[in-house]
Amino acid sequence: MVVPIHDDTPRIHGRPYLNYGLIAINAIVFIWQAAVTGFFTNEQATRDLFLTYGTVPDLLFSNFPASSLNIVTSMFMHGGPAHIIGNMVFLFVFGDNLEDKFGRVKYILLYLGWGAAAALTHSFFAASTGDGMVPAVGASGAISGVLGAYLVMFPRARITTLVMAFFITPLRLPALAFIPFWFVLQVIFVLIGDTSGVAYLAHVGGFVAGVAVGLVGRAIVLPQLANLAGKGPTFKKPAVKKVRPKIEDVVPDSVPEVIEGPDYYEVIAEIRGVSDASEIEARYDPEKRAVVIITHGLKKYEMQAKLPDSAANPVVEYIQYLNGIARIRLTR
């Protein structure tokens, strides 16, 4: 078993409070479920609860759209401790960066949309195979959408995982390896007709919806091609003219964020157009009580990150750069 515990994609817009809120809501609902069902020992109470608040395909289609609310309520219910712990670990690791990328409002709408896509995918299949009265619960479908969008939006990210076999071994894997491997497993379980009670087809539906949103998101943020509108195709080879690279002074779009730890400061700065960390220089200016950040290359940035007045000549320990985000660690 492979469990993700951390990713190296930094955030630039502060803490992911909405993602934390989703985790908290799931935890509160689970505690309520455990109280109502005697920690799932009362089978009748458990079944009644899932039939009332879960997604039941036959009831969903026979009473639509009134029954559509069950799609939402089912996303916050789980069938046991392992179910909710696994889901919340994945949501904690991958959801924060999507909240950071899309913003809170878009993120919650997308999260619910991915969950709905997963529920409908599962429901159509279950209703056609005679399992239409079996309730489906869990955030897995929505979180599968999170994984799909994350793969497209942050393909170069690296995921720290725990590989649990004979020993527990930490391992850093590229997102392009970890997430597709997870998805292939879901497809295999669908094809072999796994009977464990897990709605693997919901995972597939949510993941595909997440990938679709990620592709649209990347298309929107990519720069548009200049002078394309109104021009027909041309096959004339353009004249090649040697020009000197233009060095551009850039005004930062955002103020660097400072995170204070027990024995360190960490500065998160958005720096676009830099090839790697070797083009970034950072030093502490005691007079300004700020970290001065400058870049060397075609893109010239100069910015400051104000540190607390209590800072006493912190020293730059390292600079990391990935996906347009610089992370600068200073030791006190």
Q: For the segment 42-79, what is each residue's pLDDT rounded down to a tens digit? A: 999 999 999 999 999 999 999 888 889 999 999 999 99
What is residue 217's DSSP assignment?
H
CA distance 138 to 245: 54
pLDDT, mean over the chain: 88
Task: Report the candidate in 145, 79, 137 with the shortest Cα–Cα distance to residue 109.
Answer: 145
Residue 26 has pLDDT above 90, yes or no: yes
Task: Report the candidate in 117, 305, 261 with the shortest Cα–Cα distance to residue 202.
Answer: 117
How are beta strands 264-270 and 325-331 bridged, if at all?
antiparallel
Instruction: Assess contact for 304 and 292: CB atoms under 8 A.
Output: yes
Average pLDDT estimate for 173-199 = 91
Q: Tokens 């091609």 correspond to what residue? A: 225
Q: Give the per-residue pLDDT at 138.
A: 97
Task: Report the candidate in 226, 179, 231, 233 with the shortest Cα–Cα distance to residue 207.
Answer: 179
| One fold for 2-220 and 248-331 | no
What residue segments make up the domains of the chain, in order of their start?
A: 2-220, 248-331
Q: Is 99 helix (H, G, I), strand (E, B) or coil?
A: helix
Q: Give the per-residue pLDDT at 227.
A: 42
Instruction: Assess contact for 155 and 176: CB atoms under 8 A.
Output: yes
Pick the CATH number of 248-331 from 1.10.3720.10, 2.40.50.180, 2.60.40.790, 3.20.20.100: 2.60.40.790
Average pLDDT estimate for 107-133 = 95
- pLDDT-based confidence at 221, cuts 50/70/90? low
CA distance 183 to 148: 9
Q: What is the CATH architecture of 2-220?
A: Up-down Bundle (1.20)
